């Protein structure tokens, strides 16, 4: 069976890499983007589609509207790590998991205890002044939901340290992620449709024969995977280490 074989890979490996997307956090009640109940299907009260409101140009031209959407739909302060985050943190602590590469911006991997997390799209927990570079925590952005957050040192606009549409990924983080994936013994991919590049293309860097895809829907990489599992990521990961 697939689970038994993957369990043996995990037992024997000390170079596992996990690559995750929005589906990793849906069990923490954070909506994904493209499913039937995802963000792109449930934000009709806003005048523009999410892809527009999460763009660099929209942020610069309609900053107040950006923050209205961002605070309402992208920040989930009540969310807690789920079983998937916890299992991955445990695997890292035992020396088996080398890195978590995530497209998520929620910080739940770190909250669960993971230390080596490569956040391809940034984090809601980091925010910086566009004028002087001073950093701020999430409270600074969410404390007053009627205002565009401003720097308390120079008055500049404080921007979330997340990658918006029309912006490039951080090259250093991307390079580290590419290296970890290329060198992994076992690559576990979970909760991502693998359709948004350049992040999704990172899976193509893996040349090994132990590629596991855990996702509720099909992906462009299914035919290349050693095992494809259509189930809850938390449930599957718990079964793999039990």
Taking only the tens place, the pLDDT of each residue in 152-193 is 999 999 999 999 999 999 999 999 999 999 999 999 999 999
* pLDDT at site 64: 96
Q: What does the pLDDT read at residue 43?
A: 52
- Residues 80-91: what's their mean pLDDT? 98
Query: Averaged over 115-143, what is the pLDDT?
Result: 97
Query: Could you say which of 85, 109, 121, 180 is catalytic?
Result: 121
**Mean pLDDT for the stretch of residues 92-115:** 98
Question: Catalytic residue at 121?
Answer: yes
Q: CB of 184 within 8 A of CB of 73? A: no
Task: For residue 106, report the phi and psi dihedrals to the nearest 5 degrees.
Answer: -90, -15
- How many whole angstroms separate alpha carbon 227 and alpha carbon 209? 10
Question: Does pLDDT of 46 surpass 90?
Answer: no
**CA 18 from chain center: how many Å?**
11
The pLDDT, as a whole number, for residue 95 is 97
Q: Mean pLDDT across the stretch 121-136?
A: 98
The answer to whether residue 42 scores a pLDDT higher than 80 is no
Q: What is the pLDDT of residue 229?
A: 97
Number of H helices, E strands in the chain: 9, 9
Largest CA distance in the chain: 60
pLDDT classification of 199: cutoffs 50, 70, 90:
confident
Is the per-residue pLDDT at 36 higher than 70?
no
Bridge-based pairing of strands 211-214 and 186-190 is parallel
- In eight-state DSSP terms, residue 19 is E
**What pLDDT score does 145 carry?**
80
pLDDT at residue 242 in the model: 81
φ and ψ at 127, to 5 degrees? -145, 145
Residue 19's alpha-carbon distances to 14, 109, 160, 188, 234, in angstroms, are 16, 12, 23, 6, 14
Closest CA to 153 of 179, 176, 171, 128: 128
191: left (phi over 0), alpha (psi -120 to 50) or beta: left
């Amino acid at each position: 069976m697939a689970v038994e074989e993957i369990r043996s890979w995990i037992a024997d490996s000390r170079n596992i890499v996990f690559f995750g997307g929005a589906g990793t956090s849906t069990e923490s009640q954070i909506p994904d983007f493209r499913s039937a109940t995802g963000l792109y299907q449930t934000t009709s009260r806003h005048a523009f589609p999410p892809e527009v409101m999460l763009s660099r140009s929209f942020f610069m031209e309609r900053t107040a509207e950006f923050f209205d959407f961002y605070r309402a739909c992208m920040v989930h302060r009540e969310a807690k790590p789920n079983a998937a985050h916890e299992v991955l943190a445990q695997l890292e602590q035992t020396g088996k998991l080398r890195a978590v590469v995530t497209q998520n911006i929620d910080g739940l991997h770190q909250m669960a205890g993971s230390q080596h997390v490569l956040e391809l799209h940034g984090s809601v927990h980091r925010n910086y002044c566009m004028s002087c570079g001073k950093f701020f925590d999430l409270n600074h952005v969410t404390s007053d939901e009627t205002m565009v957050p401003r720097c308390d040192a120079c008055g500049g606009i404080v921007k979330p340290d997340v990658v918006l549409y029309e912006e490039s990924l951080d090259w250093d983080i991307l390079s580290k992620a590419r290296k970890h994936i290329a060198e992994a013994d076992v690559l576990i991919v979970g909760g991502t449709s693998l359709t948004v590049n350049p992040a999704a293309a990172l899976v193509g860097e893996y040349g090994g024969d132990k590629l596991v895809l855990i996702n509720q829907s099909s992906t462009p990489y299914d035919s290349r995977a050693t095992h494809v599992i259509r189930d809850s990521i938390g449930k599957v990961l718990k079964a793999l280490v039990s």
